[in-house]
C-alpha cells in the first residue's frame, strides 16, 4: 500500500487542460444514470454549469447562529435568489414552504455540538426520509486527518452507497479540523479522497495559492465554501477567484446571511458565479441593491 507520497518527481496537474465532460455538462458526471443527472441539473444551472447554493445548516451544531435566529423571517425571503439550499431536514419541514420549488442538498450528518469534538459525527437521516422530501442531493462532512477521520469518511461512503440505489447524488464537504493546515496540499488530499470514494461533487475552501491544482486533481465539480464572515468586497473577490480558477459554484452561508444586506449579497454572488462579473462591479451592484432596499 502506498504511504506518504515521497516521489521526487514534480507533480503535473495540467491546470490549463480542463477535464473533458462527454455526455453531460458536469465534470465526471457523463456516465451517471438519468436520475442522478436530473438532480444534478437542478442544482447546477445547465446553461452556465455553475451553482449558487446558500448554506443554512449551521444550527445542527451551533444552535441559533447569528443571522439564522429566525429562518422563517430572514432566510425564506432569500431562497428564491439561490439555485439550491443546503439545510437540515428539521428546518426544511418546519419552515420552508413546499411550494418554493428549490432543490435541497440535505445535511444528513449530526451528533456533536460545538461544545464537543466536531468530527464525532454519525449519519442522522434515513434515505427513505430524504426521498420523502424529494432531496436533490445528500451531504455530510469529512474530517481528513481529524480524530474521527475513518468514521466521517465512512459516513460519506454510506451516504453515497444509499444515494446510488435511488439516483441521489452526494456532496462531500471537506471540513478542516483546528489542527490541520488549510492549504492546497491538504485540500487536494481531502477533495481527491472524497471523489475517489464516489462523491458526486465536493465543497471545499478557497486558498489563494494553487487553488486551480485542487480543481484539476478533483475529477468531479468542486464548489467553494464560504467560511467566516468577510467584508463584502473580499467575499466577492474570493468567489470570483474561485470561479475563475475552476470552481463550479459556491455554497456560502455566513458571508450571505450575516451581510448587511443578505438579499443584495446573494444576488451579487450570482452575478460573479453565473456572469463572471468582476468583484468591483459586483460590489457596486451589491451596494446599489442594498441602497434600494
Q: Which residues bind ligand 5RP (CB under 6 A)?
A: 55, 57-58, 86, 141, 173, 175, 225-227, 252-255
Smallest distance from ligand 5RP to CB 152, Å: 11
Smallest distance from ligand 5RP to CB 211, Å: 16
Nearest to ligand 5RP of 29, 256 (CB atom): 256
Residues forming the active site? 203
Smallest distance from ligand 5RP to CB 141, Å: 5
Nearest to ligand 5RP of 168, 223 (CB atom): 223
Residues facing residue 109 across a β-bridge: 123
Contact 65, 84 (CB under 8 A): no
Read off the C-alpha cell for 121. Answer: 459525527
In the complex, which residue's CB is closest to ligand 5RP?
226
Residue listed under C-alpha cell 460545538: 114
Residue listed under C-alpha cell 486558498: 207
Nearest to ligand 5RP of 109, 213 (CB atom): 109
Smallest distance from ligand 5RP to CB 261, Å: 17
Q: Please give the Cα distance from 265 to 214 (Å, whole number).
A: 26
Smallest distance from ligand 5RP to CB 199, Å: 14
Nearest to ligand 5RP of 9, 178 (CB atom): 178
Distances (CA, A) of 157 to 149, 170, 196, 197: 12, 9, 10, 7
| Residue spans of beta strands (DSSP E) within 47-166 | 51-55, 84-87, 104-107, 109-110, 122-123, 137-142
Cα dihedral value 268, 270, 273, 277, nearest 10: -40
Nearest to ligand 5RP of 26, 239 (CB atom): 239
Task: Give the residue among 68, 103, 67, 97 at the shortest CA–CA distance from 85.
Answer: 103
CB 284: neighbour CB atoms within 10 A?
14
Contact 201, 248 (CB under 8 A): yes
Amino acid at each position: 500500500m502506498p504511504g506518504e507520497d515521497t516521489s521526487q518527481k514534480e507533480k503535473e496537474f495540467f491546470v490549463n487542460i480542463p477535464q473533458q465532460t462527454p455526455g453531460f455538462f458536469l465534470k465526471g458526471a457523463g456516465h451517471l444514470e438519468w436520475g442522478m443527472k436530473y438532480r444534478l441539473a437542478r442544482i447546477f444551472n445547465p446553461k452556465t454549469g455553475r451553482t449558487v447554493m446558500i448554506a443554512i445548516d449551521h444550527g445542527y451544531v451551533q444552535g441559533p447562529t447569528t443571522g439564522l435566529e429566525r429562518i422563517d423571517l430572514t432566510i425564506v425571503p432569500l431562497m428564491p435568489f439561490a439555485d439550491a439550499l443546503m439545510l437540515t431536514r428539521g428546518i426544511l419541514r418546519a419552515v420552508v414552504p413546499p411550494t418554493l420549488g428549490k432543490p435541497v442538498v440535505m445535511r444528513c450528518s449530526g451528533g456533536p455540538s460545538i461544545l464537543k469534538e466536531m468530527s464525532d459525527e454519525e449519519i442522522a437521516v434515513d434515505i427513505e426520509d430524504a426521498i420523502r422530501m424529494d432531496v436533490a442531493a445528500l451531504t455530510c462532512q469529512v474530517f481528513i486527518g481529524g480524530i474521527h477521520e475513518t468514521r466521517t469518511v465512512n459516513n460519506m461512503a454510506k451516504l453515497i452507497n444509499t444515494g446510488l440505489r435511488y439516483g441521489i447524488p452526494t456532496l462531500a464537504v471537506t471540513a478542516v479540523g483546528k489542527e490541520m493546515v488549510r492549504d492546497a496540499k491538504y485540500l487536494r488530499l481531502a477533495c481527491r479522497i472524497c471523489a475517489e470514494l464516489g462523491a458526486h461533487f465536493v465543497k471545499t475552501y478557497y486558498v489563494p495559492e494553487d487553488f486551480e491544482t485542487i480543481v484539476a486533481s478533483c475529477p468531479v465539480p468542486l464548489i467553494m465554501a464560504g467560511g467566516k464572515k468577510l467584508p463584502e468586497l473580499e467575499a466577492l473577490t474570493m468567489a470570483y477567484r474561485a470561479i475563475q480558477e475552476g470552481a463550479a459554484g459556491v455554497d456560502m452561508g455566513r458571508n450571505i446571511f450575516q451581510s448587511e444586506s443578505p438579499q443584495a449579497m446573494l444576488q451579487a454572488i450570482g452575478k460573479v458565479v453565473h456572469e463572471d462579473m468582476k468583484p468591483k462591479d459586483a460590489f457596486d451592484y451589491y451596494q446599489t441593491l442594498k441602497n434600494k432596499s
